[in-house]
Amino acid sequence: MAISTVSDRVMFTPEALAALTVPGVAERWNAIQERLQPVLAAYAARLSAEASRRFPRIWNLYEIGYRSQRSINRGHGVRDPIDDYYLVIDRPPRGAGVYLAVSGAERLILVAIQVARRRKDDLARVWEESRALWLPLVERIHEVRFANRERASDPAALWIDRYLANRAASSLLAGFAYRWDDPQVFQPAFIERVIEDALALLPLNEALMERAEAREPTGAAWLREQRVAYLTAEEPPIEVIIERIRARGLTVSEQIIRAYHVALRTRPLVILPGISGAGKTRLTRLYADALVGDHLAPGQENERYLLVAVQPDWHSARDLLGYYNAITGKYHPTPFLRFLQRAATDPTARYFVCLDEMNLARPEYYLAPILSAMETDDRLIDLGAPATTVETVAGEVLTNPFRLPSNVSIIGTVNVDESAHALSDKLLDRANVIEMTDVDLEGFRTAYPGAINDAIWKVIVQVHRIVARAGQPFGYRVLSEMLRYIEQSQGILTPEQALDFQIKQKVLPKLRGDDAPRLRRALTELLELLLGAPQSIWKRAAQVETEAVAAAPFPESAEKVRRMLERLDVDGFTDFYG
């Protein structure tokens, strides 16, 4: 579709929309790229030209991105085709953006602003301070979506007031929706309609970004050229590091700690994949603390360690490093860039950055200049500013390009589930990968500070063995929370009742999938354990008597597993919520 003639032709065609109905993961993605992506690219070009004309002072701050996730990860190696495809218009510090989305599941075309939970307070302030300004847009918007589990105090209130007053509502989607069978969708003028929709939402998005910028910490202390008040001494031997980590109660094998220690000495990038709650993030912190040792007082923050929570909407280096605002002529640094500046002023010490859940976004995008700098002798990072020096919003001066300090190690933790992206070979080639999936139950019990009932622990070990064989082991976090729940239930529930609730609340929700031998075996073995009776007695889940469940050692979780197994028999699929 030629951009120069798109205004004389329809934006969407039935063939383009039908790309989202093609069966097969690869087949659907290829159809989307061949039929739907050119439509969105043409729209983006027209939108960009009009936005540059209407909003010349702010448009250069914005970026246009497209959905890059090719499939939906259902777990257990199961991947489904994506149900929607979209482009997003946003800018740092993000948390809100304007979307044009095409949904195959709902047969809708949506133009909407999406506001994340962390921008809800910013929206409240913008609405409070300029209600009259935004009221026409709010009244015009007809497609609004947010969690609405609380009863509205005034059903006639505006949707924005209901959203802001609803404590359970996290993210918000508000804008305009058009059904695929709406005749105007296939008219040449439809592209002008959806451009106008997006440009109507853009000023609200900009107001949220400006409010977020005003709230960001920009303290000058971050960038002062001063050394951290620790003595510069040789690093302790690995035996001392292991002892200090163990003293803090982390149950990780000595082999893992040694491998991590050597990996950090070999490459400045280490990736820790593994199950949730296995101690990945805690290892990064305790290792950094162990190097400081006695120079770190109890409760004192380790200023040589930084934890960065990666956000799903990151898609460029500006999200990690900060960005230059051409309107103000100032640079907005992130805590990560401030941390690098601090490390540069203290070259004899080692500094550590943990990118927590680094694959919630695509690391190849937001880490691109970092990865490139690691491979070059000069280790320079272009900050995107027009001059060789740039002043920050706090008044300091940064050099551009900025030199990546050689005393900084970056560690990324990775959870492998349906919410995350796969890691590319480009990233893996530049990192040491240390998997953390094993759970040392006896080591955990030894290190646990409280008393543990032997009978309860025996059942926990059996449950862990069963779900681990199904590919869903639970980590130390879940173990700790289960035991704390049982401790807190004293005088309210028996230990067996408390464990029964915890199995149902903490373990069973992760079991889901198609009828495969591993899942069926796990559910069957769990039902045998929870009922206290072998399968030879109850035969099939549908034949388990109500009296047998009521008399079971763990009736709550037994009934839930029975229902899950019965659904697996009937539908060939099961999950906790069915």
What is the CATH code of the structural domain delimited by 238-433?
3.40.50.300
Residue ranges in 55-116 assigned as alpha helix (H): none
pLDDT in tens, 52-90: 999 998 998 899 999 888 888 765 567 889 999 999 999
- Give me the percent of the chain exceeding a pLDDT of 70: 93
pLDDT in tens, 297-354: 777 889 999 999 999 889 899 999 999 988 888 999 999 999 999 998 888 899 999 9
Is a pLDDT exceeding 80 seen at residue 217? no
Is a pLDDT exceeding 80 seen at residue 38? yes
Mean pLDDT of the region 100-128: 95
pLDDT in tens, 43-62: 999 999 999 999 998 998 89
What pLDDT is recorded for position 184? Answer: 94
Distance CA 46, CA 100 (A): 13
Q: How confident is the model at residue 293 (pLDDT cuts 50, 70, 90)?
A: confident
E-strand ranges in 357-421 read 380-381, 389-391, 397-399, 402-403, 408-415
Distance CA 499, CA 319 (A): 43
If 0-12 CB within 10 Å is exposed, 13-18 middle and 19+ buried, where does residue 402 land? buried
Among 1-15, 418-432, 514-528, name the most confident range.
514-528
pLDDT in tens, 147-206: 765 454 566 789 999 999 998 888 999 999 999 999 999 999 999 999 999 999 999 999
Distance CA 578, CA 574 (A): 7
Q: How confident is the model at residue 229 (pLDDT cuts 50, 70, 90)?
A: very low
What pLDDT is recorded for position 60? Answer: 87
What pLDDT is recorded for position 230? Answer: 41
Which residue in 386, 388, 400, 396 sits closest to 325, CA to CA?
386
Beta bridge partners of 306: 353
C-alpha dihedral (259, 260, 264, 267), degrees to nearest 10: 60
Distance CA 276, CA 473 (A): 9
Radius of gyration (C-alpha) of the chain in whole angstroms: 27
Polymer length in residues for the chain? 578
pLDDT in tens, 132-162: 999 999 999 999 998 765 454 566 789 999 9
Is a pLDDT exceeding 50 seen at residue 377? yes
What pLDDT is recorded for position 35? Answer: 95
Query: Residue 101 in contact with residue 112, Cβ under 8 Å?
Result: yes
Domain ranges of the chain: 14-72+79-215, 238-433, 441-574
If 0-12 CB within 10 Å is exposed, 13-18 middle and 19+ buried, where does residue 343 land? buried
Return the H-helix or E-strand segment holding 270: strand 269-274
Mean pLDDT of the region 13-35: 94
Positive or negative: CA dihedral 298, 303, 304, 309: positive
Distance CA 206, CA 51 (A): 13
DSSP code of residue 307: E
What are 344's two structure tokens?
């540069």
What pLDDT is recorded for position 170? Answer: 86
What pLDDT is recorded for position 70? Answer: 84
Is a pLDDT exceeding 70 seen at residue 1? no
Mean pLDDT of the region 90-111: 94
Is a pLDDT exceeding 60 seen at residue 12? yes
Lowest pLDDT segment from 383-392, 498-507, 526-535: 383-392
Three-class SS of 472-520: CCCCHHHHHHHHHHHHHCCCCCCHHHHHHHHHHHHHHHHCCEECCHHHH
Reported pTM? 0.72
Mean pLDDT of the region 480-487: 95
525 or 218, which is more confident? 525
CATH homologous superfamily for the domain 14-72+79-215: Protein of unknown function DUF1054 (3.30.930.20)
- Which residues have C-beta within 8 Å of that of residue 203, sequence separation ≥ 6? 55
Strands 351-356 and 408-415: parallel
Beta bridge partners of 272: 413
Which residue in 265, 77, 102, 104 sits closest to 190, CA to CA?
102
- Which residues have C-beta within 8 Å of that of residue 484, sequence separation ≥ 6? none
Lowest pLDDT segment from 213-227, 419-433, 484-498: 213-227
Is a pLDDT exceeding 80 seen at residue 104? yes
Place of tokens 């280790």: 379
DSSP code of residue 258: H
Query: Residue 78 in contact with residue 65, Cβ under 8 Å?
Result: no
What pLDDT is recorded for position 8? Answer: 55
